[in-house]
Chain A
Amino acid sequence: MATTKAAEQPTRRDFLYIATSVVGAVGAAAAAWPLINQMNPDASVLALSSTEVDLSPIVEGQILTVKWRGKPVFISHRTKKEIDEARAVKLSDLPDPQPDEARVKKDKEQWLVVIGICTHLGCVPLGHEGDYAGWFCPCHGSQYDTSGRIRKGPAPANLEVPPYEFASDTMIRIG
C-alpha cells in the first residue's frame, strides 16, 4: 500500500484520516441516537404516566384496584383495627423491615396505596386474604399484611408504594 510514503509524512496525512474517521464516528453516533430513542416511551405514553383517583366512593374496609402505567394499584381504605395491627408488628419480625408510618402519608394513615404486583414473580395478589388480613398471592403463596409488607412466602420485598400525592382530601394523584 502507500506505506513507503507514510514514513516521509506521517503526521499530516494521518491527522486528516483520523479527523475524518472521528467526525464519521460522531456522525454515526448522532444518527444512532434517534434509532435507539424511538423505543423509549413516546409522548402519548408519558402523558398517561399519572392517574388521579377520587377516594370518596371508597368506604372504610374497602380496597379499590385502579390501573396506573399499565399496572394494578391497590388503594386500601383501612379500618382502625387494620392500622393498629400494622403498627403493632415488631420490625425484627419482618423479612423486609419497614415501619407502617413510612408507607403512608402523615395524617392520612387510613389510606394505603401500593402497587398490586407480588414482588416474587409478578402475579396480582388477592385482597383481604391470608393469615395477616392483608393480601395473599395465589401463585406461590406469599402473604402480605395490612401495610402491604411481606410476612411469609418467597417474595423478597414489601409491595411497592408508588409516588403519589394528595391533591385534596378526597383526591390522590399517582405518578
Chain B
Amino acid sequence: MAGHGTFQPKNPILKWLERRLPVLSLMHDSFVVYPVPRNLNYWWTFGGILSFMLAVQIVTGVVLAMHYTPTSSGAFDSVEHIMRDVNYGWLLRYIHANGASLFFLAAYIHIFRGLYYGSYKEPREVLWILGVIIFVLMMATAFMGYVLPWGQMSFWAATVITNLFSAIPGFGRAITQWLWGGYAVDQPTLQRFFSLHYLLPFMIAGVVVLHLWALHHVGQGNPLGIDVKSDRDTVPFTPYATAKDNFALICFVILLAWFVFYIPNFLGIPPDNYIPANPLQTPPHIVPEWYFLPFYAILRAIPNKLLGVVALFGSILVLFFLPWLDTSKVRSARFRPLYRQFFWVFVAVCIGLDYLGSKPAEGGYVIVARVLTAYYFLYFLVILPALGYLETPRPLPASISEPVLPEKSAAAVAMGARAPERKG
C-alpha cells in the first residue's frame, strides 16, 4: 500500500527539484501520509530504533576510523590513544562498542516480534528474507569489528571462528588460509577485516532500503495479524507512528546511555580484551560477544567438528525458510494458543543457549545445550510445520478497527481522509 497523497510544494525551488527528482514527495509518501495500522503496539517501534542504531554505528564508526590504526602493531595502541587523547574519544569508543550490543538487542526483539506475530507470512516473505540477510550482514560486521581492537579476545575469537572453515572437507584449509592471508590470524587478517568492517554497514544500509521498500509495498503487519480492510484501520505515519517511535527511541537511548556512561565494559569489552593480542598464549575462557552465544552453544553442542559447523550455519539458514516451514494460515500468535506456548519455550531455549554459550563446554552444560539445540531445530523443522495442521486457531476479528471503533457506515468515512474519528 504505497501512500496515496501527492505532495505539491509551494516553494518554487522545491517545485523545481520535485519535477526533476521527486525526493520530497517520496519522503512525504513514505513517512508522512503513509498509512499504518492503528493498532500497532510498541513491539513495532524497533524498526525505527534499528535504523537509528545503524546510523549511530556508522557515524561513530567513521569518526573512530579517523584515529584508528589497522595494523597488528598499532591497533591496540591506537584504541588507547582514542580512549585517552582524542577529544571525546572515550565517549565515541564506548558508544560504538555498546551500540553494537544494543543494536543486536533491538534486532533480536525485532525478530522475535516477527516470529510471534507472523510477520514473515504471505505477502511478507521477501521482507523477512531481506531481514535475515541484514541479520547475517550484521553478524559478519560485528565479528570483524570485534577483532579490530586487537586484544586477546579479539585475536582468539578471530582464530576460533576462522578455524571453523577448516572443517570443510577438502579445501577447508585453503579457504581458511585465504581468509587469513597467511598461516594464522595476523596483520593481513586484521587489515582486511578493517576494510570489510567499514564496507559492510553500507551494504546493510542498502539492504535496509530494500527492506523498507518491501515493507511499504505490502504494508505493516499488526498485532491481530489480519489485513488492513479500509482507511478506518489505519492512521498516517506522521504524527502517530512518528510520535510513538520517537518516545520508544528515547527509552532505548536511555538504556544505551546507562551502559555507555556507567557500565561501559560490562557487555562488550571483557577484561581479556584490555590485554594486547598474544598469539602464543590463549586466554583460559574464550567467549564471544553475548549476541553470538546461542550460536556458539549450538556449535559446541555437536561433538563432531564438521557437523557442529553445519549446525551453526544451519541454525541461521533455517530462518530463511521460515515463511514456508510455518504452515499455519493464521499470522498472529494471539489467535494461536498452541503455537504461543511453543514460542515461549523457544524464547526460553534461546536465552538458555545464550547462557550456555558463555560456560565451559563440559559436564552438565553440554547435556543441556544438546537438549536445547534439539528443541531449536525441532521448533523450525517439525513443530511449526505440524502446528499448521494440528492447531485450532481462535476466531479472528473482522477488521482491525472493529474491536476499537464504534460502528460507522462506510459513507461517513471521507475519501482518503486521515482525520481520526470523533466520538458520538
- Residues of A participating in the B interface, judged by any CB pair closer than 8 Å: 1-4, 24, 34-35, 37-40, 42-45
Chain B residues positioned under 8 Å from A24 (CB to CB): 246
Chain B residues numbered 258-278 whose CB sits less than 8 Å from any CB in chain A? none
The complex places the Cα of A121 from the Cα of B382 at a distance, in Å, of 75
A20 to B153, CA, bound (A): 43
Expressed in whole angstroms, the Cα–Cα distance for A31 and B67 within the complex equals 19
Taking A2-B419, A43-B84 as contacts, is the C-beta distance between A38 and B66 under 8 angstroms?
yes
Given contacts A1-B239, A43-B84, A44-B81, contact A38 B89 (CB under 8 A): yes
| A4 and B89 in contact, given A38-B63, A38-B66, A39-B66 (Cβ under 8 angstroms) | no
Q: Which 7 A-B pairs have the closest CB atoms?
A: A34-B88, A43-B85, A42-B85, A44-B85, A37-B87, A42-B86, A38-B87
A42 pairs with B89, CB closer than 8 A: yes
A4 CB contact (under 8 Å) in B63, B85, B91, B419: B419
Given contacts A35-B59, A43-B84, A43-B87, 16 further A-B contacts (CB under 8 A): A1-B236, A1-B239, A1-B418, A2-B420, A4-B419, A34-B88, A35-B60, A38-B66, A38-B67, A38-B86, A38-B87, A39-B66, A40-B87, A42-B67, A42-B89, A44-B81
Nearest CB of B to A114, in Å: 30
How far is B82's CA from A43's CA once the two chains are assembled, in angstroms? 10
- Describe A's contact surface by its main secondary structure: helix
Given A4-B419, A39-B66; A34-B87 close (CB under 8 Å): yes
Q: How far is the CB of B194 from chain A (nearest CB, A)?
A: 19
In the complex formed, the residue of B with least CB distance to A40 is: B87
Q: Which residues of B contact A (CB under 8 A)?
A: 59-60, 63, 66-67, 81, 84-89, 91-92, 236, 239, 246, 418-420, 422
Instruction: Give the chain A neighbours of B88 by CB distance below 8 A.
Output: 34, 37-38
Q: Which chain B residue shows the least CB distance to A20?
A: B246
Does A35 contact B63, Cβ atoms closer than 8 Å? Answer: yes
A1 to B243, CA, bound (A): 14
Task: Indicate which residue in A1, A34, A40, A43 contacts B91 across the interface (CB closer than 8 Å).
Answer: A34
Q: Which B residues touch A44, using CB under 8 A?
A: 81, 85
Chain A residues, Cβ within 8 Å of B60: 35
A39 cross-chain contacts in B, Cβ below 8 A:
63, 66
Bound form: Cα–Cα A40–B91 in Å? 15
16 contacts between A and B (CB under 8 A): A1-B236, A34-B87, A34-B88, A34-B92, A35-B59, A37-B87, A38-B66, A38-B67, A38-B86, A38-B88, A42-B67, A42-B89, A43-B85, A43-B86, A43-B87, A44-B85
Residues of B within 8 A of A38 (CB): 63, 66-67, 86-89, 92
| Inter-chain CB contacts under 8 Å: number | 45
Residue in A2, A34, A35 with the greatest tally of chain B CB atoms within 10 Å: A34
Q: Which residues of B contact A1 (CB under 8 A)?
A: 236, 239, 418-419
> Which of A3, A24, A37, A38: most chain B Cβ within 10 A?
A38
Shortest distance from the beta carbon of A31 to any chain B beta carbon, whole Å: 9
Q: How far apart are the CA atoms of A119 and B81 in the complex, in Å?
A: 34
Taken together as a complex, chains A and B put the C-alpha atoms of A77 and B9 apart, in Å, by 70
For the complex, give the distance between the alpha carbons of A24 and B91 in Å: 20
Q: How many Å lie between the Cα of A72 and that of B323 in the bound state?
A: 67
Distance in angstroms between the alpha carbons of A45 and B66 in the assembled complex: 15
Q: Given the complex, which residues of A lie within 8 Å of B420, measured CB to CB?
A: 2
Q: In the assembly, what is the distance between CA of A39 and CA of B87, in Å? A: 8
Cβ distance A112 to chain B, nearest Cβ, rounded Å: 34
Distance in Å from the Cβ of B62 to the closest Cβ of chain A? 9
Q: How far is the CA of A117 from the CA of B2 in the complex (A)?
A: 61
Report B176 CB to chain A, min CB distance, Å: 37
CB distance from A82 to the nearest CB of B (A): 42
- Bound state CA distance, A147 and B92, in angstroms? 47
Cα(A123)–Cα(B17), bound, Å: 45
Q: Which of B67, B86, B239 has the most CB of A within 10 A?
A: B86
Q: What is the minimal beta-carbon distance from B88 to any residue of chain A, in angstroms?
A: 4
Chain A nearest Cβ from B315, distance in angstroms:
37
Taking CB atoms, residues of chain A closer than 8 Å to B87 are 34, 37-38, 40, 42-43
How many Å lie between the Cα of A37 and that of B92 in the bound state?
A: 11
Report the separation of the CA atoms of residues A43 and B418 in the bound assembly, to the nearest whole angstrom: 55
B246 partner residues in chain A, CB cutoff 8 A:
24
A66 to chain B, nearest CB (A): 24
Nearest-CB residue, chain B, relative to A43: B85
Residue picked from B84, B87, B91, B246, most chain A C-beta under 10 Å: B87
Residues of A close to B85: CB separation below 8 A: 42-45
- Give, as a whole number of angstroms, the nearest-CB distance from A21 to chain B: 10
B245 to chain A, nearest CB (A): 13
A74 to B84, CA, bound (A): 33
